[in-house]
Chain A
Amino acid sequence: MRSFLLAVVLGLAAGLAVAVEPGERLVDPVLESRARALGSELRCLVCQNQSIDDSNADLAHDLRVLIRERLSAGDSDSQVLQFMVRRYGDFILLNPPVRADTYLLWFGPLAVLTLGALGAALYLRRNRGAREQAPAPLSADERRRLEKLLAEDQG
Chain B
Amino acid sequence: MRRLIYLLPAVAFVGLVIYFFVSLSRDPSVLPSAMINQPTPAFTLAGLGDKPGLSRDEFAGQVVLINFFASWCVPCRAEHPVLMRLSAELKTPLYGIDYKDKPEDAARFLAELGNPYGRIGTDRDGRVGIDFGVYGVPETYVIDKTGRIRLRHVGPLTAADVAQELAPLVKVLQGS
Shortest CB-to-CB span from B136 to chain A, Å, is 6
Question: In terms of DSSP, what is the predominant structure of the interface of chain A?
Answer: helix
Point out the residue from A85, A87, A89 that lies within 8 Å of B130, measured CB to CB: A87
- Interface presence of A46 (CB below 8 A): yes
Q: Does A66 lie within 8 Å of B130, measured CB to CB?
A: yes
In this complex, what residue of B is CB-closest to A91? B31
- Interface presence of A2 (CB below 8 A): no
How long is the Cα–Cα vector from A45 to B125 in the complex, in angstroms? 17
* Residues of A participating in the B interface, judged by any CB pair closer than 8 Å: 45-46, 48, 58-59, 62-63, 66, 85-91
In this complex, what residue of B is CB-closest to A58? B100
* Residues of B participating in the A interface, judged by any CB pair closer than 8 Å: 28-29, 31-35, 100, 125-127, 130-133, 135-136
Point out the residue from A59, A87, A90, A91 that lies within 8 Å of B126, measured CB to CB: A59
Q: Does A87 lie within 8 Å of B132, measured CB to CB?
A: yes
The 5 closest A-B pairs by CB, nearest first: A89-B34, A45-B135, A87-B133, A88-B133, A62-B126
Residues of A within 8 A of B29 (CB): 48
Q: Does B130 lie within 8 Å of A63, measured CB to CB?
A: yes
Point out the residue from A46, A63, A87 that lies within 8 Å of B34, measured CB to CB: A87
Decide: A86 near B34, CB < 8 A? Known: A59-B135, A62-B126, A62-B130. Answer: yes
